[in-house]
């Protein structure tokens, strides 16, 4: 049996050995909207929990629109221009409209990469486009502390705008439950100390901080509290445009409205498709990091290691394919992986468990260790150099097919689960349907 995994900007075809029992885990077929342009304009008019976009924008002198960075395949080309044109039509001058790339602690998007993220030259030529810089203290407004003692600093450009709109993609997120909505603000445009607090072990190790779960999820609850703090500070409500896309990256869902209510509506839609139930756990699981843009670095690859945990048998073999065309990730992440190899998994975890502020990007190493406590991780990649491969902390394989065959022989179990979409699917064990 042959199955295609998303890999880079193409696919990697996997061939399973004869006489194996293969379960391919995909989302149910997600429909595409018939007319994306009309769906977007309808969303503006039929806002969730608030007045129409046109009404909200009237009387505002400035607007700041948040967009995700290059790591998310958000269909910005479908909605940014209509959104901006609606704001201009409501009386906001184009020179007072800013599109802010919510980078969190990721690197800024510039040049051709920025043009690709925006997806429309008209936007680049008619409004201000900027990147968030989490390390620039003076660029943030200090809002105080949450009830959990998280320091809150948010990008001044968004805080001081008359109208604030977050845009993004709603999909499973391995810590915050779901992306989109409030997450584009926190961590998207948060100060580094805010991000490092929320990515510390006291949040990350909480059993409720998992994919597809908002109930009792401390990260989600902190994000909501910060949204409330921002709205109290400005005296203005916040809004969001949320999208969901299918396997072909076509628009399946779009809405606009009050930031919390609209996000929950989008989550309810995505939840129908993202969680896929299986009646057993597997000793051999094959997946991917979901291809471009998510598999550009090993840092992002870790997300594909976490989502299958619910269907892994104890000490299963998890085989993951990720191109990693841009290498390991940031220098900070490289340093974290170097510490892992020097200290070992137990000492590394012990060293972070009580830290108030996580070191930048060490949280991804922590999430990798969650997977490794459950499974043997085997990575197929063509983008990492020899020294980068050594820093992954996992077994590097030269053939997915051979790794599958070896796993079947070693475990004596012919059952194989294959997840072509990686982190966009959350397989869930359920003993009885």
Residuewise pLDDT in 10s, the chain (433 residues): 899 999 999 999 999 999 999 999 998 999 999 999 999 999 999 999 999 999 999 999 999 999 999 888 899 999 999 999 999 999 999 999 999 999 999 989 999 999 999 999 999 999 999 999 999 999 999 999 999 999 999 999 999 999 999 999 999 998 999 999 999 999 999 999 999 999 999 999 999 999 999 999 999 999 999 999 999 999 999 999 999 999 888 999 999 999 999 999 999 999 999 889 999 999 999 999 999 988 999 999 998 999 899 999 999 999 999 999 999 999 999 999 999 999 999 999 999 998 999 999 999 999 999 999 999 999 999 999 999 999 999 999 999 999 999 999 999 999 999 999 888 889 988 875 4
CA-only gyration radius of the chain, Å: 21
| Nearest alpha-carbon partner for 329 in 292, 290, 358, 301 | 301
Q: Which of 253, 273, 293 is the last residue of a domain?
A: 273
Residue 11 to residue 345: CA distance in whole angstroms: 32
Six token digits for residue 148: 């959990």
d(CA 425, CA 276): 7
Say if residue 330 is in the same domain as residue 189. Answer: no
Q: Residue 229 belongs to what H/E stretch? A: helix 218-234
Q: Select from 244, 273, 302 the last residue of a domain.
A: 273
Q: Are residues 257 and 313 in the same domain?
A: no
What is d(CA 171, CA 266) in angstroms, rounded to the nearest whole number? 9
Domain count, the chain: 2
Please give the structure tokens belonging to residue 339.
Answer: 């510490």
Predicted local distance difference test score (pLDDT) of residue 39:
98
Are 11 and 120 part of one and the same domain? no
Confidence at residue 430, expressed as pLDDT on a 0 to 100 scale: 83
Write down the pLDDT at residue 72.
84
DSSP 205: T
Tokens of 328: 């390991």
Residue with tokens 């006291």: 202
Measure the CA–CA gap between 167 and 183, rounded to whole angstroms: 10
Same domain? 65 vs 187: yes
To which residue do tokens 């990515």 refer? Answer: 199
Q: Does 364 lie in the same domain as 321?
A: yes
Distance CA 338, CA 39 (A): 47
Predicted confidence at residue 421, as pLDDT, reads 85
Q: Which residues, 6 or more positions from 138, have their beta carbon under 8 angstroms from its beta carbon?
A: none
Same domain, 350 and 300: yes
One domain, residues 9 and 107: no
* Contact of 132 with 102, CB cutoff 8 Å: yes
378 CB-near residues (< 8 Å, 6+ apart): 317, 318, 319, 320, 394, 395, 396, 397, 403
Domain-terminating residue out of 218, 241, 273: 273
Q: What is the CATH number of the domain that holds 12?
A: 3.90.226.30
286 and 368 in one domain? yes
Residues 290 and 359 in one domain: yes
Q: Looking at the DSSP assignment, which residues form a beta bridge with residue 381?
A: none
Distance of CA 236 to the CA centre of its chain: 27
Q: Is 82 exposed, middle or buried (0-12, 13-18, 19+ CB in 10 A)?
A: middle
Q: Output the pTM of the full model.
A: 0.88
Clarify whether residues 122 and 256 are in a common domain: yes
H-helix segments, 235-376: 259-274, 298-306, 331-343, 345-352, 362-374
Same domain, 412 and 388: yes
What integer pLDDT is reported at residue 432 of this predicted model? 59
Of 368, 387, 366, nearest in space to 376 by CA: 368
- Across 361-425, the runs of DSSP E, i.e. the strands, are 375-380, 395-397, 415-419
- What's the domain range around 220? 36-273
Same domain, 221 and 362: no
Rounded Cα distance, 388 and 358, in Å: 23
CATH code at position 252: 3.40.50.11440
């Amino acid at each position: 049996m042959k199955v295609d995994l998303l890999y880079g900007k193409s696919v990697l075809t996997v061939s399973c050995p004869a006489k194996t029992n293969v379960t391919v885990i995909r989302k149910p077929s997600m429909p595409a909207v018939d007319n994306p342009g009309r769906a977007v304009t309808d969303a503006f008019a039929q806002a969730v929990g608030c007045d129409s976009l046109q009404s909200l924008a009237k009387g505002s002198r400035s607007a700041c629109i948040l967009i995700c960075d290059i790591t998310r395949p958000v269909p910005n080309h479908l909605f940014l221009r209509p959104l901006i044109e609606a704001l201009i039509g409501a009386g906001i001058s184009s020179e007072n409209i800013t599109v802010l790339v919510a980078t969190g602690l990721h690197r800024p998007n510039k040049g051709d990469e920025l043009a690709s993220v925006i997806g429309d030259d008209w936007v680049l030529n008619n409004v201000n486009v900027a990147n968030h810089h989490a390390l620039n203290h003076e660029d943030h407004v200090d809002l105080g502390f949450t009830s959990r003692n998280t320091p809150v600093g948010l990008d001044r450009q968004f805080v001081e705008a008359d109208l604030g709109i977050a845009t993004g993609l709603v999909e499973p997120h391995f810590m915050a439950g779901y992306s989109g909505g409030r997450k584009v603000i926190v961590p998207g445009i948060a100060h580094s100390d805010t991000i490092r607090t929320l990515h510390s072990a006291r949040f990350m190790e909480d059993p409720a901080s998992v994919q597809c779960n908002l109930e009792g999820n401390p990260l989600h609850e902190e994000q909501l509290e910060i949204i409330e703090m921002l709205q109290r500070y400005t005296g203005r409500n916040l809004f969001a445009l949320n999208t969901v896309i299918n396997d072909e990256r076509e628009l399946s869902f779009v809405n606009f409205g009050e930031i919390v209510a609209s996000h929950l509506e989008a989550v309810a839609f995505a939840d129908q498709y993202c969680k896929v139930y299986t009646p057993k756990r597997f000793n051999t699981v094959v997946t991917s990091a979901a291809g471009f843009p998510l598999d550009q670095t090993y840092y992002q690859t870790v997300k594909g290691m976490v989502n299958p945990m619910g269907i892994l048998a104890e000490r299963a073999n998890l085989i993951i394919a990720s191109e990693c065309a841009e290498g390991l990730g940031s220098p900070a992440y490289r340093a974290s992986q170097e510490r892992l190899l020097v200290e070992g998994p137990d000492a590394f975890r012990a060293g972070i468990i009580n830290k108030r502020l996580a070191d930048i990007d060490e949280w991804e190493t922590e999430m990798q260790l969650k997977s490794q406590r459950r499974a043997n991780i085997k990575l197929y990649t063509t983008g990492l150099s020899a020294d980068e491969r050594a820093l992954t902390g996992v077994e590097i394989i030269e053939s997915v097919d051979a790794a599958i065959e070896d796993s079947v022989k070693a475990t004596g179990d012919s059952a194989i689960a294959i997840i072509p979409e990686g982190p966009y699917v959350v397989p869930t064990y359920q003993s009885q349907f």
